[in-house]
Amino acid sequence: MAKVDYSKYAKLSPFELKDELIALAQSKTDRIMLNAGRGNPNFLATIPRRAFFQLGLFSATESEFSFSYMPEGLGGFPRPVGLQQRFDHFVLENRDKPGVVFLGKAVSYVRDQLGLDSDKFLLEMVEGILGCNYPVPDRMLRISESIVKEYILREMGVKGMPKESLDLFAVEGGTAAMAYIFNSLKENKLIDYGDKIAIGVPVFTPYLEIPELNDYQLEEVLIHADPNLGWQYPESELRKLEDPAIKAFFLVNPSNPPSVKMSDEGLAILADIVKKRPDLILLTDDVYGTFADDFKSLFAICPENTILVYSYSKYFGATGWRLGVIATAKENILDKKIAALSKKDKADLEKRYGSLTTDPAGIKFIDRLVADSRNVALNHTAGLSTPQQVQMVLFSLFNMMDSRQDYKKAVKSVVRERDAALYRQLGVNVPQDPNAVDYYTLVNLENTSRQLYGDDFADWVMKTKNPTELLFRVADETGVVLLPGSGFGVQHPSARASLANLNEYQYAAIGDSLRRFAEESYQEYQKTRKKK
């Protein structure tokens, strides 16, 4: 059998690598490919989905009442008068269906716990799920925004901030949020070509690539998390942010791929830096925050400086729904920076946004995001589709109404048991860290070699093995797909495994495959020693 040259893959990006790894893993028909390379969860929240579909059936019937004299298949806008009574009857008639029961409780919760107008809420949900109106307001439906604010403040660990101090923009998931934010930062003169932007690494690879695009041409300053400190940022790294030339600090928290939340000590250091650098923009992607214990976002400690991005994709198993929000405080550094721009820059921006209002200078940054998302001229058709916003609201209510947090405990348990199964079969200790989230794991090549066969073997591996080539051999010979940590800015040789998209026995099989591969390498190592 001819020896395969895996070195040709070394310069590919992680996502190009993924495709090549999958192709190798699928190249043999006598085995099942185990793809731990992507973080799409194979679990999802069913009750809020059942509620969505049941609400859709109720709403379709409501629409048909409006034009009931017309031929079948033609409906009109739902009628507000008597809507609550008809809904109560629908719940009563369908009380054996879990989704309907949840809807009835949700209306009660919105009225009795959140203090919102249940009639207006119900009408917004019915019209929203029918998709019969443009999103109005375009940034987010009014009652939907109020409900999602409650969810965001709770889950992001933000205490002492009234929801009235928060603005949300509903967007098509976290990736759309990042695209919108970078574009609007540039359009509003808050970043410019050649500016420095700090990025917390390791990080999701596209976030390393966006600032380098021709659209932005930013200079990246990497803030390195230390594996020897449980993947926390050392104070010396965070203190780089005191450089006044750095315009913004961008990170994923909890991180991807180390999958740990920023410690309280790190948050305190960052808060101290912001006191010295009140002009520093913080941009945080907190999609994994709902998997952490006692999570606290950067938004909780520095709300005026922070743009918060949250996506529903991972926690609710909703990657295909494309649901996310951008959050800013009503009083924020972004608006202050725009107000302090030069007369020329202000004039340029007033021309850009002049078609929206007679006072373009008074438009908040978050509303500029909305306009920019449709190239300003199409602002009147901006906004996330209303059915998407309805599902977002139902997800949020599902979490808030779960007083025992049973769903959260269940999904946390799922990923952590998978983590334990992988490392158990690999034959090394499961990394223990109170800040760990365990959505991903980084299998450290050096530490694993050392734990399995000792220091000399580990030193030999580090000198003789190329980590990326090893991953291609693993894919080719075992059918297991893992991504190289180096592609995410990890400085030591490692493999990233998602703990979200396979079942527990399959992670055990991955551990077995890696262990067998290590045993073969150890046998090779022993032969080299005998030759000496």
| Together in a domain, 122 and 147 | no
418 touches 507 (CB < 8 A): yes
pLDDT at 1: 38
- Which pLDDT value is given to residue 148? 98
**Pair (457, 361) in one structural domain:** no
Of 401, 421, 449, the domain-final residue: 401
CA distance 474 to 456: 22
Residues 199 and 304 in one domain: yes
Q: Write the secondary structure of 415-454 as one string of H (helix), E (strand) and C (coil).
A: HHHHHHHHHHHHCCCCCCCCCECCCEEEEEHHHHHHHHHC
Which residues of the chain fall below pLDDT 70? 1-15, 487, 489-490, 532
Q: Which residue has the tokens 């791929």?
A: 257
Flag whether 135 is in a domain.
no
- Any domain includes 168: yes
Give the DSSP H or E segment for 367: helix 365-372
Query: Are 87 and 27 in the same domain?
Result: no
Which of 100, 130, 160 delimits the end of a domain? 130
Is the residue at 499 inside a domain?
yes
CA distances (Å), origin 504, targets 52, 147, 202, 314, 378: 30, 35, 26, 18, 48
243/384 same-domain check: yes
Pairing between strand 166-171 and 196-201?
A: unpaired
Residue 2 has what DSSP assignment?
Answer: P
The domain in which residue 411 lies consists of: 7-32+406-531
Helix, strand or coil for residue 507? helix
How do beta strands 281-285 and 246-252 pair?
parallel
pLDDT value, residue 298: 97
- Cα–Cα distances (Å) from 159 to 302, 399, 526, in that order, read 12, 18, 58
**Distance in angstroms (rounded) separating the CA atoms of residues 460 and 193:** 45
Count how many domains the chain has.
3
| 524 & 505 share domain | yes
Full-model pTM: 0.94
Q: Note whether 20 and 70 are same-domain residues.
A: no
* Same-domain check for residues 203 and 219: yes
pLDDT at 2: 45
Q: What is the pLDDT of residue 489?
A: 67
pLDDT tens for 184-213 read: 999 999 999 999 999 999 998 888 889 998
